[in-house]
Structures are given as C-alpha cells and as structure tokens.
Amino acid sequence: MTTMTDTALAEFKMPDVGEGLTEAEILKWYVAPGDTVTDGQVVCEVETAKAAVELPIPFNGVVRELRFPEGTTVDVGQVIIAVDVSGGATAPAPAAATAPETAAPAEASAPAQATAPAEETAPEGRQPVLVGYGVAASSTKRRARKTDATGVNGTAEAAPAAPAAEPVPAPSPAARPDLNGHAPRPLAKPPVRKLAKDLGVDLATVTPSGPDGIITREDVHAAVAPARPEAPAPQAAPAAPAAPAQAAPVREPAPATGTAVVTDARETRIPVKGVRKATAQAMVGSAFSAPHVTEFVTVDVTRTMKLIEEIKRDPAEYGFEGLRVNPLLLISKALLVAIKRNPAVNATWDEANQEIVQKHYVNLGIAAATPRGLIVPNIKDAHAKTLPELAESLGELVTTARAGKTSPGAMQGGTVTITNVGVFGVDTGTPILNPGESAILAVGSIKLQPWVHKGKVKPRQVTTLALSFDHRLVDGELGSKVLADVAAILEQPKRLMTWS
C-alpha cells in the first residue's frame, strides 16, 4: 500500500488488516515528523472492528507528514503517513494534525501529488512487509478505477471541472452519471449509506471530502450538524440567564484514545466505533435473522469440582504441569463431547443457497470481556485436542485477549461458543448466537446449594446452564440432547472417558 511521487515522497496507505474490513481507527502514533524510520518498523497502532493491530512501514526514510491524528477513523486505502525516501536530510513538513477537523485539508494541501497520477507500484501477490501475510494487490487497485470524468482523483474542487454535458442542474460533487444515463448516484460505501439512512440524510445533498469524491462518515455528520439545536443567543434573553437544563451540550476534550465525547449536566454521548460498533451490528443481525430458542438445566457439578481440585494438587501426575485447570476447561470438553455425540448441532444456515452446512470440525469460541469490549476468539480444531492441549489453548486465548492482542484471524471461523457469565456472579442468561453459528452455551456461577443427593438433602455445588440455538436448523429434540449431554458429563465427569 505504497505510492511514490516525483519528489521521492513515499505514501503509506491504510491496509486491509483483517479480511475485507473497510476502515480502522488510529489509536496511537509511534513516530512524529522528522523521525527516521526503517523497513518493518511499527509506526502506529490501529483498531479495526475486530482487534487492535500494529502497522509496520515497508520502507526506509524520514517522516514528513502524519495525515491523520490519533482517534481518527480512516478508510482502507487512504494515505496515513508520508515518508521522504530520497535519503536527504531535508526539514520535515509541519506537525501532524491535532484535531479531526484538520485531517481533510491535509490531503488537499499537496498540489504536486494531486496533479501527478498516483501509479501503484505494489508487485503482484501480497506484500510480506505488512501485517500478517500482507494485503492483496487487488485491494489497492479498486480505488484507482474510481475516477471522475477529468481522470483526476476527485475532490470538492475538482468535480466542477468535468464536462458540462448534462442538461440537468449541476449535481452534487459526489454524484456522477451511471452507465445507463440514469440520474447521478452519490458515491459512498455501504456503511456510510446506512448511516445516512439512519440519520435521515439525503446523500445527494452532501458535499464529499473523501478521495475520488466519496462521501465519508464525517460528511454525513456534518450535514446533520446544522439541524441540531444551537445554544441560545445571549441577546435573546438579556434579562435572565438561560436555565442550566437548557444549556447547549459541551464537547469535552477527546480522551487519550481519541474518542470524542459530548456531554452536558444530565447525559454523556459516546460515539459508537471499533469493537463496540462491530458487536452491536453482529448482535442485531443475529437476533433478528436467526430464530433463537434457549433451554435451561440446573446440574450438580460437585464431582467435576472435586476432579479439578485433584488435578490442581498434583498437575504433573495428570499431564497439566504449568497449565491452568478450571471449571471452564471441563465445561469446554463436555460441550465438545456433546457435539461429537450430536454432530448435527455443529452447523450453519446458508441463506443465499438455502442450505444447511454441517461442519466436521469444531472451532470453539470463548466470549471474552476486554477493555475494548466483547470479543469472541476461538480455538481452531478444538475437537481434536486432548484435555491438556485444550487447557494450553484456553490459557493462550485468555492471556492474548486480556493483553488486547487478539488477531482478527483468531475471531473468524467459529462454529460454537461458550460464554461464562458465572464469573460475574449471575446464575445464567439467554445468550445471543454469534453470527454464523448455530449454538451458544451460557455457564452460570457455581454455588453451594441444598440438593437432594442419594435421598438426602445435602450442600452440593450447583450451576445452571443455558443453551441458545438457531431453530431453523436445530430442533428442540437435538438442542435438548446436546444440553442434557453437557449436564450429564459435568454431573459425572467419568463419562468423558466412556463417551469420548
């Protein structure tokens, strides 16, 4: 994702760091104008809808300009940093923008770059210097085809230069005629179109600021801003000050993460972005597309807890030396065995092809609460792991999630999920399916309760399990069998040997 100019100024563009993502937020810059960078050096950390990722730069040189400040959401393909690769000791460009309002002029302030065609120099295949296995070359070519009639990357000033051949009034700078000669259609990505629809904004009336005349989220918000109530003018009521409850909202300085906060005396508004935005979209999509059914069972897990304590006392004897053994480990193994006994539950619904796709592998998702929000990384091929191997994978998953280093790939391809709400002291819940999956198991807290055991009421360790499943492909009988098998294993863990 690199563009070279005639002045030996290399431009590094925001790459697609996770399988088709369209944007990422710049969390932190590790360099400043004037700093020397080397090939492979990490220059910034960005947050996508899935994870936080560090971006290395693919060349040597001196940083001339940071195009966007921290906290700015940038579309994939936009230039985020310019580096002088000529080897000269020239003075750096002015410091990076310090507010989101200055980000747009930063791109328009380089006429030499706007007049020279920006030829892509990326080789075929993937660039190994980028995150993971690099970015596909096709991802850098899509934008090159989106040019206006002048052949120059469109901006708000370049659009009027197009030939005025249409008899209709001048369209919005973001609009252009389609191939069939129909009315011009504003250029905007699907998420931006949805935002405009939700806010009631007509994209034809919005002035674009993005590359190639594309309307951005900021443009849509700017179009809504005039419609918001303004602070009362002081001269309108000179005799009495405005009541505190009617004071206009005050925009506080952005926190260290770059998240803009609007607050007044009674409420605070926080922009929805990153992991929170992705979670909201996924949960809404799942809840209103898959018919959920949730079943519950309360089970005596005293024997399971005794087995865990026994392993903890002498982990080396059982092959768990250096590994963490906890109830989640045995619950995970119980679910994997239940899936093996009832394989039809491990499937997904293909709406486009009207097919049920049964999976012959289990990528076990574990819902994890992190400072960035809820994420669901998964253990690949969990069905093939022994109990110690599963313990090792769970430990690595939790450690990585708490450090905020979970990769986008670790959150893709899950088939079944476990959410352990018991750690918060609650009995159970009605979990929502992770999109593309057919079942999710919620585990409640394990408590000492009175329980009838061998004809007598005794204190036993008891928990409640809840299994939500997609009723399009999982019938009540199948869902009940899966939940009953999990409960039976936890009640008598010796079944792990006979059933697996």
Q: Are 1 and 15 in contact (CB under 8 A)?
A: yes
Q: Are strands 456-470 and 9-13 parallel, antiparallel or unpaired?
A: unpaired
List, in sequence order, the alpha helices (H) in 323-475. 327-341, 387-402
List, in sequence order, the alpha helices (H) in 2-130. 103-108, 111-115
Q: Are 12 and 18 in contact (CB under 8 A)?
A: no
Q: How far from 379 is each of 288, 317, 390, 438, CA to CA, in Å?
A: 27, 25, 8, 17
Sign of CA dihedral 253, 257, 262, 267: negative
Sign of CA dihedral 47, 263, 424, 337: negative
Of the candidates 155, 163, 125, 132, the residue with the CA atom closest to the CA atom of residue 51:
132
Q: How far apart are CA 213 and CA 175, in angstroms?
A: 8
Of the candidates 257, 274, 395, 378, the residue with the CA atom closest to the CA atom of residue 325:
395
Q: Give the helix/strand (H/E) hosting 495.
A: helix 495-499
Question: Which tokens sit at 173?
Answer: 């700078």
- Residue tagged active-site, from 221, 360, 453, 471: 471
Q: Does 471 qualify as catalytic in the annotation?
A: yes
Residues labelled catalytic: 471
